Chain A
């Protein structure tokens, strides 16, 4: 992984739609580097600019400011049909007047590939997406999952350098979605093509990606491997958007590189991870994941009262409020035939597993 080649690079990209009163800043000075052969995911809530970033890379929109580079080269002057980038559209956008095979072969045909070669590649693609017998069908005769695979095959057939996928799984039901997640991952491994994948489903992002960029309101807040994003969120929004989290006000008292110590409201001093920016001691917010804590009958590092106990099969969720009123959730794994350790109204101490406290930037 030493200095892997760069596939796509956005340098200070800003995109403004409209003008005057109705102006929308869809992207605000976004910079990101996507490596070759990477499964890169853009994750964020609706309207945060994910589609806009993909459309800028594909060439359907032009940046108001900044540059998009493909393999280190400027592509601003290239129209979409000259960019070695293909898109799997959110609604698939299959051509309704063509068969499955014609859809898949369209890109190759446009590139001027001879008919027999097109037919051969189309067959390969049909095999790749496991739809060998469906080439002659009309796209309207396909199920949602099949349409999605045709869209994928159509975008993969011309062997693009980069494949852009705009929430391709959002229309599928849960079971099919899980299957397609595995299939997508397999296709990415087999083809070695760089995937830029858009989703607003945090679980999907975590399970599939090599790296994730968390976006909000036209900004990229954090880029990192799924584990890093989950365990070491740098901002409140990231922590909140990915998984369930407890926010606790604390005092940063010691800084040593990316490690430090914080004093919790209870007075207990515990080690904590610091974000990748310069911080000075003082008031901070820390996050503690519900599954990284334990409840004990004695003091622990935080104390609270249990409001609610919810049984979930594999684990039990304890909703507490700390002595200063802050809500807090603890998620404890269940043992077979064990009763809940605490019930509503009980006082409990909270202990935190090693390295489970993350300090936020804000």
Chain B
């Protein structure tokens, strides 16, 4: 956009020469130049962004191939199969409870993860934002440290913490709090903890960004006007950092709902999430169209969430304008 504008102004001198025709020609030239300049960007967006999406969109309307892949047989079967299944004997349609429960679990786990990350991330971000300038960067660095290692490695580490003879259980047993190890690993709880751990930095960063901009004198004004800590938090801090809260929630929710590694390792194969379901379709189940349809379905859900977010932010901005 900015590039296009500069080229437009750059061509102004040629338009001075003579009448309308010259102006029109110059305009055409500048339009062409503009397209030329943005074409690399468009090519990349098209190639890596839109094309893969288009491919799975097309696949989702085809039939599965005999061994894997697809056969060019258009059908809505894959989309039907996202939530329905055909009875093997009489071919009547019924709800696919396995899929429904996986999708429900994904939503619930992603939502719980988002809330947990918010509960942990909010005070963390506040803590960092109230440190002196120099210390803040150190704290932010520490928060982002887990991102420096592979998610797989981190999840294995989490297994060491959560398993029956892991650090949590052995410490609790050592302290005589419990006798038998708590059943954490391979449960939804383990997946929730793992996801929260994995995506916490994505909550802290945007929260920190909006808290850093927060005018702390407003908090003092709140105290001055008889607001105690809780009231100031609810009435002043939270409304003012709301964009950060929403951004953080979305940034955690989206990857959490599509998570693959964490539910696979910490859920122990019985607590699947949508990500695993999709992977299965492209793997053992050999149903690429269904995998594509579920992927697109997930994307639609996420888009709905984004639209709600954008609307929220816009209406808030309107109120503040």
Contacts and interface: CB of A to CB of B under 8 A. Distances in A.
B210 to A, nearest CB: 13
Contacts of B239: 97
Interface in A144-181: 154-155, 158
Central interface residue in B222, B223, B227, by most chain A CB within 10 Å? B223
19 contacts: A59-B223, A80-B220, A81-B226, A81-B227, A81-B228, A89-B217, A89-B220, A89-B221, A91-B217, A94-B221, A95-B218, A95-B236, A96-B218, A106-B227, A106-B235, A110-B225, A110-B226, A111-B226, A138-B320
Given A80-B224, A87-B220, 14 more contacts: A58-B224, A60-B223, A60-B224, A80-B223, A81-B227, A87-B224, A91-B217, A96-B240, A97-B239, A106-B222, A110-B231, A111-B226, A138-B321, A140-B321
Interface size class of B (residues with CB under 8 A): 20 to 34
A297 interface: no
Interface string B203-247: 000000000000101101111111110010001100110000000
Nearest to B220: A60
A158 B225 contact: yes
Given A97-B239, A97-B240, A79 B223 contact: yes
A138 B319 contact: yes
Contacts of A37: none
B236 A110 contact: no
Interface of A: 58-60, 79-82, 85-87, 89, 91, 93-97, 106-107, 110-111, 138, 140, 154-155, 158
A149 to B, nearest CB: 16
A94 B222 CA distance: 10
Interface of B: 215, 217-218, 220-228, 231, 235-236, 239-240, 319-321
B41 to A, nearest CB: 36
Nearest to A87: B224
Contact of B320 (A81, A93, A140): A140
B225 A97 contact: no
A154 B240 CA distance: 19
Contacts of A80: 220, 223-224
Contacts of B215: 93
A154 to B, nearest CB: 7
B225 A106 contact: yes
B236 A81 contact: no
Nearest to A58: B224
Contacts of B319: 97, 138
A85 B221 CA distance: 12
A80 B222 CA distance: 9
A73 to B, nearest CB: 18
A154 B217 CA distance: 15
Nearest to A55: B220
Contacts of A111: 226
Nearest to B239: A97
B241 to A, nearest CB: 11
A89 B220 CA distance: 10
A95 B321 CA distance: 14
A96 B242 CA distance: 13
Nearest to B218: A93
A158 B226 contact: yes
A89 B225 CA distance: 12
Contacts of A59: 223
